[in-house]
Amino acid sequence: MRQVVALRSNSNKPVVYRCSIEGFEDTLYAENGLQLYLYLESTIMGTVDFVFGNAQAMFQKFSLLVRRPPEDKHNVLTAQAATTPVVSPASPSTCAPSKRAPGVNLDGVETFLGRPYRNLSHVAFISSFLGRVVSARGWVPWDKNHEVEETTRTVQYREFGNVGPGAKTEARVSWLGFQRLRGRQLHGGRLRRRQDWVPEQIKYDHAAPPEPEPQPPMPPRAA
């Protein structure tokens, strides 16, 4: 299956609520890094980079369902494309069950949480269920067979409070830009503090918990 965008979002402060966004490669294009996005109680289905773009987006009560990619390909849930640093690395966050789509055979297919579409890519998985489809390494370079050292230092990839067989972090990448977070609950920066634009009919927790305590990155594993 080739690239076909199912939804491209470039508006300011949209709320996508109780929707199913289905595709394969590049399913959701959350485009504009200057805007805020909120996705609630919805489902995205895809294969390679099926949530991508430079949006400051939060996904809550959300499901990311993985399909089988083309032969000899691997799945990637996110491809965030930031080109400028962010104040809070947690601004784009995903709180979503991540598992295979119903009836899909993923034998022999690796699935990663994300890869850097740009050098300052930033993604956080928070209080999510990560299914056994998620690779133990968690994250992958843009070119799986060619790791760019600079990019491993400039990305901001975070995991906090996740559960499920894919949530174990012992074998995660040893990149300087990857952190396991501990202590207090992670929040979504200005996304969580500026939600007055969410309609009252939609149940959403506006409260912003305090910042988490970051753990130092793991030292590189011996070859």
Question: What does the alpha-carbon distance between residue 112 and residue 192 come to, in Å, rounded to a whole number?
Answer: 26
Residues 113-123 pLDDT 10s: 999 999 999 89
Q: What is the DSSP letter of 146?
A: B
Taking the alpha carbons of 34, 18, 51, 124 in that order, is the dihedral positive or negative?
Answer: positive
pTM over 0.85: no
> Which active-site residues does the annotation give?
49
Best CATH choice for the domain 7-196 from the list 3.10.150.10, 2.160.20.10, 3.40.1350.10, 3.30.870.10:
2.160.20.10
Residues 4-51 pLDDT 10s: 899 998 888 888 899 999 999 999 998 876 667 788 889 999 999 999
Listed by start position, the domains of the chain span 7-196
Token pair 């996705």 in the structure block, residue: 39
In the chain, what is the straight-line distance between the N-terminal and C-terminal CA atoms, in Å? 36
